[in-house]
Structure 1
Amino acid sequence: MSAEKPGRPLVGVVCDRYFIGEHDQHGAKHSYVRALMFNANVSPVLIPASREIEAAEPYLDGVSGLLFPGGASNVEAHRYGGETGRDILADPDRDHVALNLMRAAAARGMPMLAICRGFQEMNVAFGGTLHADIQASGLSQDHLEDLAEDLPTRYRYRHDVELTPAGMLSTLAHAQCVRVNSLHRQGVDMLAPRLVVEARAPDGLIEAYRLNGHDFALGVQWHPEVMTQHDPLSRSIFEAFGASCRRYRQAARPATDHHEG
């Protein structure tokens, strides 16, 4: 991937890997692409999910931020020392790419936005653990997805979250409590040491955090990408992410310009 040129910052979107019939596919939902283009004001590029990718650096050299989207699969239990053998859809290729990219991007101070599965990846990447099944762990069923529902119903607001006073999200929301549309089976068990809680659900489950010491490295358990047209906080999350990507690119540009010259 070549270095960015003047214009909108490039933001990498980590793909899922899955089969449609006999065809092996890499893909990301358009809702994430649309929110990046129209709310973050950046240009998304897709990063494939493959265990054959050995190094994160060529991808990071070409972008000014990363989006880790939601997905149907879950982080493999062995990645965080959990029990194996559960009948839960996994995507080991995405785990490999996402966790390596996330750690390498953090070392550079690169902006990151992690949503749903990406939120869970962020905790695992920095040493945290997960509940493989929040319902089996005795937490609320309000977080679970009903595949029999149509998409607008499925992505409706599910429950409130309490925002950390003076945190990033409470500042963006100008509120201490907001409603969110969480849909997930996994959830945070032990929080990674480098993460700072930004929001909790009524049952105590952590629903948002940020990576301490970074300009913008935010994980949210819910789905702001489908709410940007009418939800101010969802829109503000993507706007703040885009602004951070522009700051990152501006800070890196003198070295890039010198190299190209």
Structure 2
Amino acid sequence: MQNRKPIIAIVACHKMIDGQSGQAVYQKYIDAVHFYGGNPILLPNTAAAEGNFEALVAAVDGILLTGSYSNVAPTRYGAAHIEEKEDLGRDELSFKLLAYADKQGVPLLAICRGLQEMNVYFEGTLYPDWREVEGFYEPHLEDASQPLEVQYQPVHDVIIQAGGRLKAFGDKWHVNSLHKQAINQVGKRLFVEALAPDGLVEGISLLEHPFMIGVQWHPELNYAQDDLSKFLFTEFIHYASQNQAQ
């Protein structure tokens, strides 16, 4: 079908809602996709099941891996620490979506936890907590005592690297930062798109792919005002539209 909005699959996360187990996506991700011309659909963790997955992804033009309260399971990248904030269903679905996007060339945008999943899928590793690593000094983790509008304010620069996709935007930008896990070893085949001034990896991409980019910050918050957020979502939906037309 031509002239329809590209369908963007947004991975859902396990949430406790009024004391009951549920699957959820923050509205800001849905709104950002809709604002830039995508047609968002939400994928619960049961989408990873055989039979379900193949039928669902056949209808998808782009994939969005969101940030989340949970963290990637240590066993995914060969770590042995205890992770209290796991979501194994989210892990299973996200890694299947990454494999599908990698093989089929489906555009994919990965945000925060999504960037970490993307790095691990390509055999990279993570720091469970960047605060335990000597040398990182930027305020990468939010002050949870502050209201959300303060937590999501830009707090440090990212330095955009030459030779990547983000270079078309510019050389540097000021971003928000709300994360504990961070990239340690960069995954195979991945290009480092952006670094914080202290060297923490803030952006990665698969340059051989039509469009696969991961960012450590949250472009979905001020998606209609922030210039780098505009660039990321505009490019993502553009490539999803191109994928739909094929």
Question: Which residue pairs with 1:90 in the alignment?
Answer: 86
| Counterpart among 77, 86, 94 of residue 80 in structure 1 | 77
Q: How far apart are residue 211 of structure 1 and its match? A: 1.1
TM-superposed deviation, 1:22:
3.1
Partner of residue 221 from structure 1, selected from 216, 219, 233: 216
Select which of 89, 97, 114 maps to 2:110.
Answer: 114
CA contact (8 A) 1:64 1:249 kept: yes
Q: 1:106 to 1:50 in 2, by over 3 A?
A: same
Tell me: CA distance 1:64–1:93, structure 2 relative to 1, closer, same or farther (3 Å): same
Cross-structure match for 1:232 = 227
Cα deviation, residue 5, structure 1: 6.9
Alpha-carbon separation, structure 1, partners of 2:198 and 2:50: 40
State whether residues 48 and 92 of structure 2, in contact with CA within 8 Å, keep that contact through their aligned partners in structure 1.
no
Residues 51 and 96 (structure 1), Cα distance of their counterparts in 2 relative to 1, 3 Å cut: farther
Contact 1:103/1:126 (8 A) holds in 2 = no
Q: CA deviation at 1:108?
A: 0.0
The 5-angstrom pairing of residues 157-176 of structure 1 reads 157-171=154-168, 173=169, 175-176=170-171
- Give the 3 Å change call, closer, same or farther, for CA 140–231 of structure 1 in structure 2: same
Residues 147-226 of structure 1 correspond to what in structure 2 (within 5 A)?
147-171=144-168, 173=169, 175-226=170-221
For 2:71, the aligned partner's letter is N
Percent identity over the alignment is 36
Note if contact 1:70-1:116 (Cα within 8 Å) is conserved in structure 2. yes
Cα distance in 2, alignment partners of residues 225 and 188 from structure 1: 20
SS at match of 1:143: coil
Q: Which runs of 5+ in 1 are unaligned?
A: 252-261
Instruction: Determine if the alignment matches structure 1 residue 32 to structure 2 residue 29.
Output: yes
Q: Which residue of 2 aligns with 1:254?
A: none
* Cα offsets for 1:186-243 (capped at 9, x unmatched): 0001111111010001111110011131111000000111122221111111011000
SS in 1 for 2:23: strand
Q: Check the 8 A contact 2:195/2:203 in 1, yes or no.
A: yes
- TM value normalised by structure 2: 0.94
The Cα RMSD (Å) is: 1.6
Match for residue 11 of structure 1?
8
| Residue pairs, 1:62-81, within 5 angstroms | 62-81=59-78
1:128 aligns with 2:120: no
Partners of 1:96 and 1:245 in 2: CA distance: 23
Runs of 4+ in 1 over 4 A off after TM superposition: none
Q: Contact 1:50 / 1:96 at 8 angstroms: preserved in 2? A: no
In structure 2, list runs of 5 or more residues that go unmatched. none
Q: Distance in 2 between matches of 1:177 and 1:37?
A: 27
After TM superposition, the score normalised by the length of structure 1 is 0.89
- Count of aligned pairs: 244
